[in-house]
Chains A and B, each alone.
Chain A
Amino acid sequence: MGEQGELAAEKHVRYIVTAEKKKDSFESLVMEHLRASGAYWGLTTLDLLHKLHAVDAAEVVDWIMSCYHPESGGFGGNVGHDPHVLYTLSAVQVLCLFDRLDVLDADKIADYITGLQNEDGSFSGDIWGEVDTRFSYISICTLSLLHRLHKINVEKAVEYIVSCKNLDGGFGAMPGGESHAGQIFCCVGALAITGSLHHIDRDLLGWWLCERQCRDGGLNGRPEKLADVCYSWWVLSSLIIIDRVHWIDKEKLAKFILNCQDKENGGISDRPDNAVDIYHTYFGVAGLSLMEYPGVKPIDPAYALPLDVVNRIFLTKQQ
């Protein structure tokens, strides 16, 4: 059967490819409203495992573009769904994987996002106005990938994110919001992309983050919560960006992630012996990538895309 602590890469690839094909499966049905993000999670995982070619690129690109709303410039979570920044980022990221940014009207998408920036520098998720630091990260990441970051008020955007910094060094969903590892990733990632990491007290934040490691080696998202594989990404990438990743026990974390695999059917779950899903499969593999697990491509901690994809975007400038 192999070592106990091994990554069952082939099984995970098969799990993802099968899930992608079975559009009327149970999991598909349940994730219908966020299928665009599901595509990003699944396809990025395939790329990290060197198996992106297992899917038909043209088919994927066509499907992604069918979620596009030309009038607004945004993408919906599925065909016919209203546009939202969440799915706009996922769509752009998927196209980055296939090096097909050429199919996009980058200026139109940039306009969509620019229109969602509020006076205080924050970003709404869509026309209904909900504000959250997640949307700050998403907007900044999307525009950066499209080489159009200058279209928003970057200074105000950074100002808003910094206003969400708490006394414990962490960041919340809005000013005064409880520190949460997911929100922290979004704020740290956004500050990294905009070259504003000097606003962070690295020791203080690193302290909060390293306290997320539980006895079982896994990471949680807030004090007193159970470890969850998705925090292997949110916490780990944040620690790497602020150069404090040596404050956690990486070996123990890797063991925890590997224990969350379904080695028979493929896929990774939130914690050992639970049901698997695409979301946790992605975050588990991404976490292992950050820890340089053999056989997994390196991933960029701020853009959440394979490093070679990010290099291709920024080292060979595209319009």
Chain B
Amino acid sequence: PNSQFLFFEFSWYFFELNVHIGGWSTQVLQILFPISSLYNASYFHTRLIVTVIVLCRKMVLSTNFNLSHLKDELRLCALILSYSPKNESTWSHRRWVIKNLAQHLQDMPELIDKESLLVKDMAEKSKMNYRAWRHRCWLIPYMKTKQVLDELNKSKKWAELHVADNCSFHYRRSLLLALLDGAANREDSLICQSEAYLMWKEELRWNETLIRRYQGRESLWNHRRFLSQWWVQHLLSCEETSLSNESLADLFLSQEIHLLSDCLGAPGDEFGETRVQVELAALYILWISEQDAAVKGKVEERLKSVGSLKEVLARACPEKSRLWTHLLHC
């Protein structure tokens, strides 16, 4: 701590001297950041960055509006974020710059692509980074339908490699909701609608393969809760029936219960992940049945082969008994 202390005091003095002489410069940061990183001093970065951002804003407001100045700001932000990926004032400053750029830029899609890529890089180094992913979600309203679909496709691989990163699945949910929103509100609403249906169906299928492959991953099950919620409502309003003349909603619910019984029947493992999988599966079924009285009835009916919902929950998650006894009124 003593040498770190001296380093910080010196760095701060050096930084303030530089500011006093001729304004901050990227070069100063390029010297300070790597050295303080050796000390793993992210908190020092925060203090430094807060000052830098305030100076940035004052400078940008004081000079004449200039596209190249704004682009410099983006570069500075990227530098800061590479050392301090969670720094909210930097992300916020970045958005402020982009909002200003958006008014003058023709190639917004390209800018959005670059931003998305930046977040992806940040997310690699700093998992579950709320601020970075929030930034990525912030870009969605600027996207046209085609870009939303592209993003869903492009971010799929990353999500697969980081199944415990809840942020990336939240991003996917935001993209899917944007499709639904487009289906209601945009000129290309019919395309949005059919695309939404296809993407949702595919997302459910993909999510199930991941659930079966990676045991006990909460973010995967949470994602499924979200997907099922809309999907069941959509199917209930559908008049089609399946080949066996069952309604599509009934068929879907049967499939979900099949997933549950597969989880219940799986052999235990040394890491206890099977146990977590069982708990998550049971809570998932509880989740679906709580959505809607009609759905609850259908779920209870199909569960009979496995046991009542109460019995399943008692076996799978006894520690959560206060939660489900309240919900099941028992």
Contacts and interface: CB of A to CB of B under 8 A. Distances in A.
A71 interface: no
Interface string B163-176: 01111001000100
B225 interface: yes
A174 B283 CA distance: 28
B252 interface: no
Contacts of B222: 168, 223
Closest 4 A/B residue pairs (Cβ): A130-B92, A178-B170, A223-B218, A30-B43
Interface string B115-153: 000000000000010100110010010000000000000
B96 interface: yes
B250 interface: no
A120 interface: no
B323 A173 contact: no
B193 interface: no
Contact of A224 (B140, B164, B322): B164
A143 B198 CA distance: 49
Interface in A28-86: 29-33, 82
B306 to A, nearest CB: 22
Given A32-B47, A224-B165, A246-B322, A130 B88 contact: yes
Interface in A10-38: 26, 29-33
A178 B166 contact: yes
Given A128-B96, A177-B134, 15 more contacts: A26-B1, A26-B4, A31-B43, A128-B93, A130-B92, A167-B226, A173-B130, A178-B130, A178-B137, A207-B327, A210-B320, A222-B130, A222-B166, A224-B166, A224-B219
Nearest to B92: A130
B50 A33 contact: yes
Contacts of A178: 130, 133-134, 137, 166-167, 170
A203 interface: yes
B166 A223 contact: yes
A207 B46 CA distance: 35
Contacts of A33: 46-47, 50
A53 B140 CA distance: 52
Contact of B218 (A167, A180, A207, A224): A224
A249 B319 contact: yes
Nearest to B95: A130
A206 interface: yes
B57 A128 contact: yes
Contacts of A174: 134
A128 B92 contact: yes
Contacts of B225: 168
A176 interface: yes
Contacts of A129: 96
